[in-house]
Amino acid sequence: MVRVGTSTRDEDQASRERFELLFRANHGRVARYVARRTRPELVDDVVAETFLVAWRRLHDVPPDSLPWLLGTARRALATQERSTRRRLALAKRVAFQPARSEEQPTDLAGSVVEALHRLRPGDREAITLIAWEGLLPAQAARALGQTEVAFRVRLHRARRRLARELERDLLPVSQALVGPIRDDPSEC
């Protein structure tokens, strides 16, 4: 009987080609995702770790790979930060620290950064996955390992909380941009 199918060598070559495509399409976005969330000297390690996991588990990476990669990077970041906090007592340094822009932030921008900083990590992640990473809610949900419905609820509440935080710091601007904000009785 003649065995029909691809050889191991062909499989390897196909895997390499698929991974190269995946890497070239997503490396920049993964690197920026990581750079937005950790100290510069850790970025390379986390990005490398993310793509190593992707390479080893290539068969598990879905066709829409970006959410899967960001979810992996998120876990790698969490591991890095947990270890750092525990062992080096550098908690303050590894906390959410957006990289400084070349330009001086305006008052509004500064208030937005402050307001983001005050959000719960989960809320902040929900908003920034949409605003910074450009994901659709369904993609962001996959990155966080949630259902789309659950993510949409979280996003809605996160936006409310962000708007409220902005209102605290920058009432006139906040009102002009997002309109009057009422307390949501469903939240507690």
Partner 1 sequence: MTDDKLVHLVRSVDPVPGDTGPDTGEALLARVLATPGPRRRRRLGRLLRPRNITTIALGFAVVLVPPAVAFHNRLLDLIQGRPAPPPVTRAFQAWNWSSVEISLPDLAGLPYVDAGNARGVAELHTHTGSISLWVAPNDRGADCWVYVYRGATPTAGAPEATSLHCDLQSEFHSAGPLGIPQMVLNCVMPSVWFVHVQVRGVTGVQLVYPDGHRTPMRVVNGTAVAAFRVTDLPTAIAAVDDVGSTLATEPANVSAPLDFFGRPNPCSSPNPSMSFGGGGVEGNIDSGDDVPPSQTPTDPHFDLRGTLNKVTPTSITVGKRPDQIAYIKATLSAHGEEIPSGLESTCNLTPDSPSLDGFHTGETVEINCSRGNLTSIVDAKIWARGTITALSRDSIGIDWSQVPTGAPPFLVCSRTPSSPPVGFKVGEPAFIECEGGRLLSIQAAGDQGGGSGWITPEVSLPSTRHP
Which parts of this chain interact with partner 1 (CB under 8 A)?
Answer: 11-12, 15-16, 19-20, 23-24, 27-29, 31-32, 35-36, 41-42, 44-45, 47-48, 51-52, 55-59, 79-80, 83-84, 87-90, 98-101, 105, 108-109, 112-113, 116, 127-128, 130-132, 159, 162-163, 166, 177-179
Residues 129, 74 contacting (CB under 8 angstroms):
no
Contact 39, 79 (CB under 8 A): no
- Please state whether 49 falls in left (phi above 0), alpha (psi between -120 and 50) or beta: alpha
Question: Residues 6 or more apart from 13 whose CB is under 8 A from it?
Answer: none
Q: Which residues contact 47 (CB under 8 A, 6 or more apart)?
A: 27, 30, 31, 34, 73
Closest Cα to residue 129, out of 145, 149, 143? 143
Nearer to partner 1, 40 or 145 (CB): 40
- The CA–CA distances, whole Å, from 120 to 20, 96, 161 equal 36, 11, 9
Q: Which residue number, 71 or 96, has a Cβ lying nearer to partner 1?
A: 96
Question: What is the rounded CA–CA span in Å between residue 103 and residue 59?
Answer: 43
